[in-house]
Amino acid sequence: MAGSAPPAGGFVRRIGLFQATAINMSQMCGIGPFVTIPLMVAAFGGPQAVIGFVAGAVLALADGLVWAELGSSMPGSGGSYVYLRQAFQYRTGKLMPFLFVWTAMLFIPLIMSTGVVGFVQYLGYLAPDMGRTTGDVVGLGLIAVVVLLLWRGIEYIARLTAVMWCVMIASVLLVIVAAFTHFDAHQAFTYPAHAFELTSTHFWTGFAAGLTIGIYDYLGYNTTAYMGAEVKDPGRTLPRSIVLSILGIMAIYLLLQIGTLGVVDWHRMTDPGDIASSSVASAVLEQTWGRGAAQVVTVLILVTAFASVFAGLLGGSRVPYDAARERVFFRPYGRLHAKHRFPVLGLVTMGVVTGIGFLIGRHTDLATLIQLLTAVMVIVQALAQVLAVTVLRRRQPGLRRPYRMWLYPLPGLVALVGWLVIYGYADTNAPGRHPIEWSLAWVALGCVAFVGWAAYEKVWPFGPKEISEEYLEGADPNAETAAVTA
């Protein structure tokens, strides 16, 4: 499929393995670990917080194998939209892909908004006198710049992403090197009493909170799956980019977490008045190489945060495009820019919602924002997609699968349990915020929107189901879908 010509007016396959892995890793790393290490330490109550990053890596790898099988088999623009459409069309028509796009229009920009919150948080280290209003303006301005940079062709964006990936690697490596040149093993590996008491409710509550923070830090391993129609040789490139990015980021996170704990006393990370609680990487550099080095690396971290938001909006803006083009979402989202061939309305909408999420995060707290976005994501995307692998193996046994999940169905079961733990503990970890209730309300509102949209488009339940099996061997990907009586 490498180098295959796209349908008239469609996307162009120009993203190779290195660029795909760079896009994933830029989105995964970004500002995440630099702002969540203190949150992780607070959740566990000590340096045993490294457990959270390990647990997050296990869940990310298990879920990544789900994405790898689905993405290599159905390399279309939109990622989960395509997979859920293919798997659940036989019973519920277009309901599941519609709900996915509906929820993705919320949770993807919410993920990006946490990166903008982190950007402003670290900017505060360089400009300690910056007020809240100024910080709000800077964050909104950053989002506007990202949207303007994405207002161009994918070939330019891929090169720009590779450059920002290099900056991201440099910023992380500098923090790691600085930490290990002044590493105190006794400080890093001295744990509070009862830190590993598995019979304690406190341990498991901390574990659930840490797993939520951990998987948030790994989110992004699936970014290029949303851009499957723009990836060269997707049957090989997508699975490899997913696995390589998860393994690479796992190594980086463990070194970063352990190195940081060996320099900065973990008690400082839980003190709201200490710089280590908001800009822990800057605190590491200041304590090891001095304030000048800390300022330089802080600038690199700001570039890293920018790269994360950039990569996320790049992939996320593609989600509603294919759905609208296939008449599974509101039609205006199916239009591409006449010259640069990118989805205009998807990009603009994601940018606006990112701005709203940023303001919510700034005026509540980052933990609340993480809880809300994970709860919304789990209920429609994560759980449904694990089920989709089994459904498609039964419904479409002839589907071409360049990659088949290792140890099937074990990774899917691990992912299922992990996502259920995160969802079940959402309210526990965010008391008074009610993320589960908000997620259910958003899905219910999506069901109402679907009913109105389906009535307008005259599709199931107001018309026949349309069964589309274009990814099966021998199927014509440009053929019309078949309408069958429900």
Contact present, 420 and 414 (Cβ < 8 Å):
no
Q: What is the pLDDT of residues 347-385, one digit of tens each?
A: 899 999 999 989 988 887 777 778 778 888 888 889 999
The residue type found at 144 is A
Q: What is the pLDDT of residue 429?
A: 56
Q: What is the pLDDT of residue 464?
A: 87
Query: Is 164 a residue whose pLDDT tops 80?
Result: no
Q: What is the pLDDT of residue 480?
A: 43
Q: What is the pLDDT of residues 293-309, one digit of tens each?
A: 999 989 988 988 888 78
Q: What is the pLDDT of residue 112?
A: 87
CA distance 398 to 472: 6
Contact present, 178 and 171 (Cβ < 8 Å):
no
Q: Which of the pair, 320 or 367, is modelled with greater confidence? A: 320
Query: Is 244 a residue whose pLDDT tops 90?
Result: yes
Identify the sign of the CA torsion 349, 350, 353, 358. Answer: negative
Query: Is 386 a residue whose pLDDT tops 50?
Result: yes
Q: What is the pLDDT of residues 391-437, one digit of tens each?
A: 999 999 989 999 999 899 999 999 999 999 988 877 665 556 678 88
| Selection from 327, 400, 341 nearest residue 6 by Cα | 341
**CA-based radius of gyration for the chain:** 22
Q: Tell me the percentage of the chain whose pLDDT exceeds 70.
A: 91
What mean pLDDT, rounded, does the chain reach? Answer: 85
The angle subtended at Cα 309 by Cα 241 and Cα 107, nearest 5°, is 85
Q: What is the pLDDT of residue 60?
A: 95
CA distance 317 to 27: 14
Q: What is the pLDDT of residues 247-292, one digit of tens each?
A: 999 998 999 999 999 999 999 998 888 888 888 999 999 999 999 9
Query: Is 8 a residue whose pLDDT tops 50?
Result: no
Q: What is the pLDDT of residues 44-64, one digit of tens each?
A: 989 999 999 999 999 999 999
pTM: 0.83
Tokens coding 317: 């803006």
Q: What is the pLDDT of residue 95?
A: 94
The secondary structure of 178-237 as a DSSP string is: HHHHT--HHHHT---TTTT-TT-HHHHHHHHHHHHHHHHHHTTTTGGGGBGGGBSSHHHH
